[in-house]
Every structure is written in C-alpha cells, then in structure tokens.
Amino acid sequence: MSTCVAIAVITFRRPALLRGLLTSLQAQELPADADYSIRIVVVDNDADGSAARVLEEFGEGTPYPIESVVEAEPGIPFARERSVELCWNDDALVFVDDDEVAPPGWLATLLKAWESTGADVVTGPVKGNLPAGAPAWNHYSDVHDSTGRHTTGEELRKAYTNNTLVSRRVYHAVTPGFHPAFRYTGSSDLHFFLRVHRAGFRIVWCEEACIAEDVPVGRTTLAWLVRRAFRSGSGDTISRLLIRPGAISYVLVLAYASARVISAFGLALAGLLLGRKTHLLKAVRRFFSGVGSLAGIVGINHDEYRERHGSADGGGAVRGDLDGGEEPGAADVAAQGDASLADHPDARLP
C-alpha cells in the first residue's frame, strides 16, 4: 500500500498568498518509483470561510486532492489541532505556512530525508525573500530564519510548523498537540516540539528541503525585530514552564534569561570593538529575547497574531488574524477556569 502523506496548511484571509502556496504544492513532482499518496488539507481559520474562493480554483484535475474545513474558533492552536485531527490516519503530515512557496523538488527531498534517516520528525530551512528597499541589516542577518542554521542530519531539540514533516506515531503519542494558551502569541508549535523531543522522538534537520517565503515590509523594521525577539523569549519560557512546572524550572529559566541579557552586552561590546554589525544585531535580539524570557516567568507575552497590521493582500485590521501584532500583554497561561486549557495535560502553572 502507498504511504499516505498530508500537507497541512492553516490560513486566515490571505487569498493571494494561499493561492501561491497551493500552486507551488500542486507543481511538486515525485520520482516515478515513489510510492506515496499525497493530499493537501487546508484549515480556514476564518468563520466566514473566505478561503473557499481560492480553493475553488483547485478542483478536479489537480495532481493532489485538497480537503478543506473551516475552524471557526480563532487562534493558531485551534487551527493546527484541527489539522492534526484531519490527518490522524495519514502516515505523516507536513506542516507549511500559507505565506510560503515550495520550490521544485522540495517535497521529494523532504520525503527522501524521512526515508533515509528514519527520523520521527524532519524539518528544513525557510528562506526569506526580502522586499525591495529593505533596510541593509536584513541582508546580513538570519532574523528571518526562525529555525537557525544547521547541517543535514543534525539532531535538534525543537522544530516549528513552517517546514516540517511529522510521523503519525508522533502526533498519536503527543496529544493534544497545540496548547490554547498560545492563541494569539505564537509558540504553540515550539511548545509542541519541545514535548515531542522530551517524549524521546528524533527531530532531524534537512538543509536541502528548503522552502521560501516573502517577507512583508512590516517585518523589516527594527521595531518588529524587537517585538519578535521579545515574543520568542517569552514563548520559550512559558512553553518550558507549562511542560515542567515547579520551582526548579523557574530557577532554570531565570538563569537562562539572565544569561541571555548579560551575554547581549558582551556581544554589543565585541561588535563595537570589532566594527561588526552582525554582532550588534545579535546583541539586540539576544537582549530583548532575554527580557521576553524574564517576562514569560510571570505570564507576559506579545500578542503578535491578535490583529493584522496589513498583510501582503492589503487587508485592514482584523481581529484574530494570523499575521498581526499588538503590544505585550498577559497570556492566558493560568486560566484554570477555561475548559480547553484545563483539559490539556500540561495546562497548569503553579
């Protein structure tokens, strides 16, 4: 029997971007001897079902069938969890973002890495295509690479849902996968994959399975860099405290956060003495990541996805969008009265 693989996409009111992604997915070719059954699952997080207009363009005759549903509950974790439910009987699912474009050979490379390594999770890089006129610092920074830089075959402790294959045995074991506490803040994928690694599953990097995304103008500013660094640090802390609550975890994350803040000053000094802008940029990111890590200890995070600043499709502010931003605020990590939180296996913060 063929190995069934589903490509899972969540989307919210970004029709042009979704169209570009689906076009690139339908163009993927597999070797003639590859015994795979591929399908695409789209979860529209817009209660109005606005993605339907785009999905109608990919009807009969496309190489890979598309199944779509509407997840009316706003927030990334709910859409991702619905994706897992729809892919429950597939042998693996591949998470990609709706603002990405898959180059030729991407899917074949990812599947080959899964076969050759026997890994439970295979993840690869995301290449950010900068808009014209982006400030110079964007070009020599890896700020738009959320996965960091690794070598093929390297085993990792975490991954994200922007370019990652997950074997069925993983999402059957680590369930529920995506925590409602991260509804608008992001990091529900980090929290999930930290738990995946903790459960003993192997996460392997494949440098050749690269996917691309267009970076919006709004993400090329230093203000965005600061907010993203803060959110990243806070999300990391909250994830770890949810996974392993207790005094020891608080001490560890406090030590980690403090070390990041202190090391940021060392990087800044080195950058000034050596005249290296990359060092200065890393210092800024590390400092605000450390500050975010400290804020996460008391449950403060940055609601990056609560409202849209203005997407590539030119839309206005929309509550609950997946491309937005708001000032830092308190995350609902301790909302014990919320049934969806209370039912989660690691939903409690002491």
DSSP secondary structure letter of residue 307 = B
Residue-wise pLDDT tens digits, 91-137 = 999 999 999 999 999 999 999 999 999 999 999 999 989 999 899 88
What distance in Å separates the CA atoms of residue 128 and residue 85, rounded to the nearest whole number? 30
| Confidence at residue 136, expressed as pLDDT on a 0 to 100 scale | 86
349 or 107, which is more confident?
107
Residue-wise pLDDT tens digits, 20-51 = 999 999 999 999 999 999 999 999 999 999 99
- The answer to whether the CB of 271 falls within 8 A of the CB of 277 is yes
Amino acid of residue 48:
D
Distances (CA, A) of 118 to 92, 121, 169: 12, 9, 12
What distance in Å separates the CA atoms of residue 129 and residue 260, rounded to the nearest whole number? 29
Who's near 19: CB < 8 A, 6+ residues apart? Answer: 54, 57
**Model confidence at 61, in pLDDT bands (50, 70, 90)?**
confident
Who's near 35: CB < 8 A, 6+ residues apart? Answer: 2, 3
Q: Look up the pTM and report it.
A: 0.83
| Confidence at residue 147, expressed as pLDDT on a 0 to 100 scale | 66
Residue-wise pLDDT tens digits, 151-205 = 999 999 999 999 999 999 999 999 999 999 898 888 999 999 999 999 999 999 9
Residue 325 above 90 pLDDT? no
Strand 155-156's sheet: what is its strand order?
66-70, 36-44, 3-11, 92-97, 163-167, 121-123, 203-205, 155-156
Task: Give the pair of three-digit tokens for residue 173.
Answer: 């074991």
What distance in Å separates the CA atoms of residue 259 and residue 143, rounded to the nearest whole number? 20
- The answer to whether the CB of 344 falls within 8 A of the CB of 180 is yes
Element (H, E) at 6: strand 3-11
Task: Give the pair of three-digit tokens for residue 100.
Answer: 């990405």
Amino acid of residue 64:
Y
**Model confidence at 313, in pLDDT bands (50, 70, 90)?**
very low
Residue 3's DSSP bridge partners are 36
C-alpha triplet 178, 191, 41: angle, nearest 5°: 40
- Kindly report the backbone phi and psi dihedral angles of residue 127, in degrees, each rounded to the nearest multiple of 5, phi listed first: -95, 120
**Model confidence at 146, in pLDDT bands (50, 70, 90)?**
low
Residue 334 above 60 pLDDT? no
Who's near 183: CB < 8 A, 6+ residues apart? Answer: 74, 75, 76, 77, 78, 332
Residue 85 above 90 pLDDT? yes
What distance in Å separates the CA atoms of residue 211 and residue 96, rounded to the nearest whole number? 9
Amino acid of residue 183:
R
Q: What is the largest CA-CA distance in the chain?
A: 62
- Kindly report the backbone phi and psi dihedral angles of residue 47, in degrees, each rounded to the nearest multiple of 5, phi listed first: -60, -25
Return left, alpha or beta for 99; rule: phi > 0 is left, psi -120 to 50 is alpha, else beta: alpha
C-alpha triplet 153, 157, 162: angle, nearest 5°: 80
The dihedral sign for the CA sequence 212, 237, 77, 244: positive
